[in-house]
């Protein structure tokens, strides 16, 4: 019988990195997500009894080492979201990619005093060469795949804002974008031609949950973009398919635009027009539902029990 796991994952993008994705490059580092959002999310997790996986940048690891250590002590997982959150991520040179992966893993592991084994790319932007580099850097799993054609819109938006960059959608990843959403785990070998062993160098892939038929990605931003009835329908379809749940939110989902004096250029980000109280109430209700229906654990806690698809 398949384990009913739920992995609640949080991409901890700072405000300056969010704005970079919107084409704004003049913002200095902003630590609001660490100072206010993550403590709030940890409180919601404690209240509802769920354990989460936080994907963080290595850039801020030592400055935020107290918070990172607290995340681990409270039973959650610290994973990598690259070192500096560059976009487009799949367009990095081999040298740049090696640094982003290795420096992030080392910085986060040292700061939280725990082994960092998971990775998620900025804007979920990976190709097969990137996956090979992720495994070569020592990661055991990647959580960047979204098996839905809707992700192409996100990819195109990132590349549109990155002037001077080539179009970065690797045609080799297209079969995975339309692969069966019931396939919850894949194994991607680093082939001998790429410097690895096809027998031993395996990267476990943890894809985002999508609806079985419509392929709607089920993640927190969707709750602000569609009517509640549609959002709930997507969840029910995943439950009926008996698939595990991989649910993604962002650190800014724990911030209020006005309450926390967030840069006004974030006002069009999904959910930033909602009051902080409503945002936290929505997260609490969701987490309670997930805890009722699933065993909500960090991603790495499930790795030893997984079988390749």
Kindly report, residue by residue over 178-223, the tens digit of the pLDDT.
Answer: 554 444 445 554 443 333 333 346 899 999 999 998 888 999 999 9
Q: CATH 3.20.20.370: does it fit domain 5-305? A: yes
Segment 149-163 shows an average pLDDT of 59
The pLDDT > 90 percentage for the chain reads: 70
Whether the per-residue pLDDT at 284 is higher than 60: the answer is yes
pTM, 2 dp:
0.89
pLDDT at 166: 46
Question: Are the C-beta atoms of residues 43 and 49 closer than 8 Å to each other?
Answer: no
Cβ(257)–Cβ(271) below 8 Å: no
What value, to the nearest 5°, has the Cα angle with vertex 209 and ends 208 and 210?
Answer: 115
The rounded distance, in Å, linking the Cα atoms of 38 and 35 is: 7
Categorize the per-residue pLDDT at 156 as very low, low, confident or very high, splitting at 50, 70 and 90.
low
C-alpha to C-alpha distances, 46 to 51, 76, 281, nearest whole angstrom? 8, 10, 14
Residue 217 DSSP code: B
b/e per residue, 265-304, with b = 16+ CB within 10 A?
A: ebeebbbbebebeebbebbeebbeebbeebebbbbbebee
- Predicted local confidence at residue 32, as pLDDT: 97
């Amino acid at each position: 019988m398949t384990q009913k796991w739920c992995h609640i994952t949080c991409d901890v993008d700072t405000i300056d990195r969010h704005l970079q994705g919107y084409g704004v490059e003049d913002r200095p580092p902003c630590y609001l997500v660490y100072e206010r959002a993550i403590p709030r999310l940890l409180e919601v997790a404690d209240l509802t009894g769920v354990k989460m996986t936080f994907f963080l940048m290595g850039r801020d690891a030592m400055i935020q080492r107290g918070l990172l250590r607290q995340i681990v002590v409270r039973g959650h997982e610290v994973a990598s979201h690259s070192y500096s959150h560059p976009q487009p991520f799949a367009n990095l040179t081999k040298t740049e990619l090696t640094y982003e992966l290795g420096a992030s893993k080392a910085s986060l592991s040292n700061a939280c005093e725990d082994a960092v084994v998971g990775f998620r790319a900025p804007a979920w932007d990976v190709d097969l060469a990137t996956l090979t580099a992720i495994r070569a850097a020592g990661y055991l799993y990647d959580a960047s795949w979204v098996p839905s054609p809707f992700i192409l819109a996100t990819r195109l938006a990132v590349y549109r804002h990155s002037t001077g960059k080539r179009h970065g959608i690797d045609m080799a990843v297209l079969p995975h974008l339309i692969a069966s959403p019931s396939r919850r785990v894949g194994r991607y070998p680093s082939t001998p031609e790429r410097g690895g062993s096809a027998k031993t160098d395996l990267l476990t892939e943890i894809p985002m949950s999508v609806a079985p038929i419509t392929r709607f990605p089920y993640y927190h931003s969707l709750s602000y973009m569609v009517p509640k009835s549609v959002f709930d329908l997507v969840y029910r379809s995943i439950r009926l398919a008996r698939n595990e749940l991989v649910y993604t939110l962002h650190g800014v989902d724990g911030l209020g635009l006005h309450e926390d004096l967030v840069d006004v250029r974030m006002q069009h980000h999904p959910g930033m027009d909602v009051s902080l109280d409503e945002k936290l109430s929505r997260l609490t209700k969701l987490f309670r539902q997930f805890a009722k229906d699933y065993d909500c654990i960090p991603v790495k806690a499930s790795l030893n029990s997984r079988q390749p698809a």
